Structure 1
């Protein structure tokens, strides 16, 4: 890991500073903050400030689009359309500025996220900030990347990858073939935009849009992959933000990676998921059958029994409508992984496990069938219109980082990950197989690959929770160590990201955004709900689950494939 860099003031500057600031005897002068480089100033500042033609949209918001350079080295060259949405601060007289949001993914729509903000952001932020979402290039309401000429061509490739993750040799072979065709499609048909969607380009777009909304300094709150965007902005423009929060944090050095390792070997997302699962099962065992529905026997051993039996033979169940549905090992694992994203992960994980156990061993599939029917009712099957979510996330992952050469190396690599992080090593391991550089050949020449150690003028707030199943807590620790002027806020909550999970984490983030002052060094929030602390309700009754803050949790975008058994989060 690169060491933190600390610039010493020159003698002349030190003399000026010491003439007006009384330093304590023997104390060292503070290191000077880094500034936006000459190269980035030349790229971004050459772009005229867009004049946004705002119009009323969605009853409560304003929308606009503008065109920004496809290549910032050619500010007068080809452009791409960028969409922006804002909800104006309730107290315009005392407005601090705009708060830019990003929901993660990569591939999540920031305009949709901002539109939803009144349901998850604290009222104090809604009072003092215009809430702004800018859809990253290629994504959402911005001009979309399209790697295929038609839905028919897209379907032909994605049908080869139409499993939560491959398990059998036959599935792996099909998935590798699909990955290669996918990479080639984005490097040919989708090349123009796919080769210009790196996170650095999005950070440059955000700096231009900061000017467009009239802000001298950026205020930013980014979740999950949005933490990468925040770190890129902080390192490209270290003197251009007032407050910057990253929640659910990716280690940027691991994100960029090398050509020897797949993405999960670098990020260790599967390790975070496995650690959270085993902790839940052990707490379930300690709590006993009065508090946990999966506590009978040994929950850890029983979970492995379910997995082993589903690997050997998928479970065929009636769907309640005269047909059947199949629960495979991959569907079950992804349902568990998706449930680990929930604030009430303990309850959901153990309920699904108990329902599958009953269907396998007790001939009692009713609860599982009802779950599948309820989940299916919330999901829409379609062929039209063209949906580009997989292409959008891949274009960012594949152009930001370095990846192994051949998609054919993924079966062995994911098997290694599954040995270290059972169940989830394969689930997380396959997310970047399309990025193999023999077949994904398009690259962004202006992608940023470090350093990530700039001393920013304002502090960065880095937020990580101990049981995050996607952005491993160690990512937050690593990022905070890289950034000299950062503060790590830790939380004991379950699920993915910390905002909205407890009063402590939420108000700590709010207060920093409102005042610019980060929480105390080493602060750990311990007020989040914990699993199995309350007795199970009587048969036939359900427990109402709510967040401690009284608002919903942010609908953070994720890369985990949907499962037939996974409830909406």
Structure 2
């Protein structure tokens, strides 16, 4: 497909193919060439990296581009990398506010794919006021170079491995050997220099370059899940460059590993209990008719998979895949019917639907190729947070997790083992750490948190709103994120804020 360049309309400060524009807003010293770079928007087909993006990007209304940024912002004249961009340009005329930049989280999820999905239903009032823009954070998706640790074959094999048995020295040694080998492959396939500059600290600097080349004096941002951590870090780094931020499915900016593990486990347990309570009211519930026994029923279905995978058509369903599939379905009530049917199939010896659900979560296409979601996830986590290398601390954390986790069939057995994780073997130092953000001068932002969110518990949204002196919108629902979903209440509140900076009243609740 031929590349097309869109440059017929010029708005003040907007880069045009063939010549640099003036930067918009303040420019950090030494970065002028990045803030003034021209951006050539073209057809998106060649930006596809997998089956999903290939389908999503086959849309003439979308345009893609590459943004040049320094690999290391401390060395702006050194090596450069590129950030993949996707835009649906819809806002024109006097009502245009600018661009709305979106990130779906992860870390490791593609912002380009997220924007392409949102573009399918990008309607007024937002479409009339904003161009929709998604970007793949450095190392992710279409951004180059991409983080790569395991091959597709490696990932398939890893999924079939049985969980490590026990918590003693042999289990510790086995897990640490696997973690060390994983890190060695990340270094060999990606490079230590890239891994050193892959974290949120650098992503927000890329985002400010993006703001300028889009021609926006101030950033309008929509971040979901880990995307709220990106938004928080941007707000702390560039508070004067923010116009509006919606942060949905919030990550607590000062949460430690133990609290995070326990909070998320309790969140998924709460989501499972809600699913079970609804399921047992139906005559075909795979978990039976007694919600109090649903957890035991699920455990009985999954436990045999630890030693003997189930039939999954041309593949085998492992214990790891089955747990991953269940967790995938607990992210949203819309997947509860699918979860029930897939568990009913498992009882009959058929694990095909569960494998497909695990593939969806893990980024595996029908062609057997994986997106780099989980390699990028690990790489970002390992530079965003300090590593834990002190074995006494590791043992204490494992003990506290064992004591704090609810008894659940969805427990990660290896979370109980006092082993050094991948980050303890990471070859470069961390560039961030959990902390309460300092954001003097930040305008009011909007935080959305769902009471039944399994992945980022409701209380994390409460804490983030307080830390940013923002306004919290409470959503009474069992879902991870809510804006631009099924709730008109949430959508109207978010749109009113983004377009007119009209925030909901303190204490507002939606369902």
Question: What's 2:163 paired with?
Answer: 166
SS at match of 2:39: coil
Q: CA deviation at 1:126?
A: 1.7
Please say which of residues 299-308 and 492-501 is displaced more in the overlay. 299-308
Which one of 368, 380, 386 corresponds to residue 396 of structure 1?
A: 380
Q: Hey, what's the Cα distance between the residues in 2 that align with 1:43 and 1:282?
A: 58
Kept in 2, the 8 Å contact 1:61–1:85? The answer is: yes
Question: What's 1:300 paired with?
Answer: 292
Which one of 408, 420, 438 corresponds to residue 453 of structure 1?
A: 438
Q: Hey, what's the Cα distance between the residues in 2 that align with 1:59 and 1:263?
A: 46
Q: CA deviation at 1:105?
A: 1.0
Question: What's 1:208 paired with?
Answer: 209
Q: Which structure's CA Rg is the greater one?
A: 1
Q: CA deviation at 1:284?
A: 4.3
Kept in 2, the 8 Å contact 1:345–1:495? The answer is: no
Which one of 274, 278, 284 corresponds to residue 279 of structure 1?
A: 274
Which one of 490, 500, 511 corresponds to residue 515 of structure 1?
A: 500
Q: Hey, what's the Cα distance between the residues in 2 that align with 1:155 and 1:503?
A: 44
Distance 1:428 1:140, change over 3 A: farther
Matched, 1:222 2:223: yes
Kept in 1, the 8 Å contact 2:86–2:115? The answer is: yes
Q: Hey, what's the Cα distance between the residues in 1 that align with 2:98 and 2:42?
A: 20
Matched, 1:197 2:198: yes
Which one of 332, 339, 355 corresponds to residue 342 of structure 1?
A: 332
Kept in 1, the 8 Å contact 2:387–2:424? The answer is: no
Q: CA deviation at 1:422?
A: 2.2
Matched, 1:416 2:402: yes
Distance 1:217 1:201, change over 3 A: same
Distance 1:465 1:163, change over 3 A: farther
Distance 1:142 1:316, change over 3 A: closer
Question: Residues 353-404 of structure 1, C-alpha deviation per residue, up to 9 Å, x if partnerless?
Answer: 4444xx2xxxx45xx45745876998635566x8533321211111001232
Q: CA deviation at 1:495?
A: 2.3
Question: What's 2:179 paired with?
Answer: 179
Q: Hey, what's the Cα distance between the residues in 2 that align with 1:139 and 1:68?
A: 14
SS at match of 1:508: helix
Q: Hey, what's the Cα distance between the residues in 1 that align with 2:383 and 2:214?
A: 29
Question: What's 1:55 paired with?
Answer: 42
SS at match of 1:519: coil
Q: CA deviation at 1:163?
A: 4.8
Distance 1:406 1:298, change over 3 A: farther
Q: Hey, what's the Cα distance between the residues in 2 that align with 1:177 and 1:497?
A: 36
Distance 1:415 1:380, change over 3 A: same
Which one of 251, 263, 274 corresponds to residue 268 of structure 1?
A: 263
Q: CA deviation at 1:512?
A: 0.9
Question: What's 1:129 paired with?
Answer: 130
Question: What's 2:428 paired with?
Answer: 442
Q: Hey, what's the Cα distance between the residues in 1 that align with 2:213 and 2:144?
A: 19
Q: CA deviation at 1:343?
A: 3.2
Kept in 1, the 8 Å contact 2:295–2:409? The answer is: no
Question: What's 2:90 paired with?
Answer: 89
TM-align CA RMSD: 3.6
Kept in 2, the 8 Å contact 1:289–1:295? The answer is: no
SS at match of 1:133: strand
SS at match of 1:274: helix
Question: Residues 202-247 of structure 1, C-alpha deviation per residue, up to 9 Å, x if partnerless?
Answer: 1111011101010000000011111110111111111111110111
Structure with more relative contact order (C-alpha pairs < 8 Å, separation 6 or more): 1
Q: Hey, what's the Cα distance between the residues in 2 that align with 1:227 and 1:164?
A: 33
Distance 1:306 1:93, change over 3 A: same
Q: Hey, what's the Cα distance between the residues in 2 that align with 1:132 and 1:375?
A: 28
Q: CA deviation at 1:426?
A: 1.4
Q: Hey, what's the Cα distance between the residues in 2 that align with 1:70 and 1:415?
A: 37
Kept in 1, the 8 Å contact 2:253–2:436? The answer is: no
Kept in 2, the 8 Å contact 1:100–1:132? The answer is: yes
SS at match of 2:177: helix
Kept in 2, the 8 Å contact 1:407–1:434? The answer is: yes
Matched, 1:494 2:478: yes
Distance 1:160 1:344, change over 3 A: closer
**TM-score normalised by structure 1 residue count:** 0.71
Q: Hey, what's the Cα distance between the residues in 1 that align with 2:301 and 2:404?
A: 17
SS at match of 1:457: coil
Q: Hey, what's the Cα distance between the residues in 1 that align with 2:237 and 2:379?
A: 21
Q: CA deviation at 1:101?
A: 0.6
Distance 1:73 1:444, change over 3 A: farther
Question: What's 2:22 paired with?
Answer: none
